Amino acid sequence: MWDLPAPKKCYGFPDQVKAYYQNAGFLADFELAFEELFSRVYYLGPLRDYPKRQYTWAGAQPADMGRRGEKVVDALLASRERGELVSRGARKKRLNIEQCVAFWLRELNLIDSFTVEPITEGSNLYRVWVQRTSGSAKVLVTDVGFGVSQILPVLTICYYVPEGSTILMEQPEIHLHPSVQAGLADVFIDAIKTRNIQIVLESHSEYLLKRLQRRIAEERLSSEEATLYFCNMKDGKSRLVELGLDLYGNITNWPQDFFGDQVGEIAAMTRAQMQRKKQETP
């Protein structure tokens, strides 16, 4: 038995393997399949860029949004330039990516309209304009709530990456109020249903989780299409524990006190109220 050198990258086998072993011919196919698989993986980090008053676009066509979502305007303009349309499912009108993003911003009750426009005709400088309501004035994205700029890369990446891709996403709910956090679940369900993508996300949002559970109960998402894991620390090591999810959206092995003791908090609050009222009664 020969000692082999270290692997190349994390998956490549050195040439000596193919030379020493007669049955190693499949390894080249394995390496190619591995590369093709991970070429369809896209990542969006938890801390996204602050919005800008203007953006420069020189015609680049980014592969993704960037780790901090800094390429989101480039992606929107590139998809517009290519004339790409996104399927929304059977018997639904195909939309471009900007229209998809605008649709979800309205559905989530964040803003009424959203456009990316050049400062002047033919300029490579662009501004992102939004309207809070149908009757309000157009303002720059920097002049509305911070959550709009934070959710923009989250919405865009779901419809920008190629069909069949895998998206890795950390804490998409950051800077969003509870109802929008819940609504993100519907965005993700729509994307996986209409675009055949897989979304792997890390989240601490109870509202997002509860909406997923509700959609399973409503049969808009099957329990087989969603898998939940809880990261548990034991003996100084992180371990993933799969949460049991039944056909009705119930979690059968819920981690104790993960979202706090809600019943205990309500009971303690009620006792405190009763005690104060008792003391205040003459």
Q: Which amino acid is at 46?
A: P
CA distance 129 to 157: 19
- φ/ψ (deg, to 5) at 38: -80, -10
Token pair 């419809």 is found at 159
pLDDT score for 167 = 97
Q: Identify any residues that bridge with 170 across adjacent strands, giving them in sequence order.
A: 202
Domains of the chain are 1-39 (no CATH), 41-220 (3.40.50)
pLDDT score for 259 = 66
Q: Which residue in 226, 212, 103 sits closest to 159, CA to CA? A: 103
Continuous segment of H or E residues that includes residue 42: strand 41-44
47 contacts 68 by C-beta, under 8 angstroms: yes
Q: What is the pLDDT along the chain (282 residues), one digit of tens a residue?
A: 566 667 777 778 777 777 777 777 777 888 888 888 888 999 999 989 999 999 999 998 999 999 999 999 999 999 999 998 988 777 888 899 999 999 999 999 999 999 999 999 889 999 999 999 888 899 999 998 888 999 999 999 999 999 999 999 999 999 999 999 999 999 999 999 999 999 999 999 999 999 999 999 999 999 889 999 988 888 888 888 898 888 999 888 877 766 666 667 777 888 888 888 888 876
CA distance 141 to 139: 7
pLDDT score for 4 = 64
248 contacts 217 by C-beta, under 8 angstroms: yes
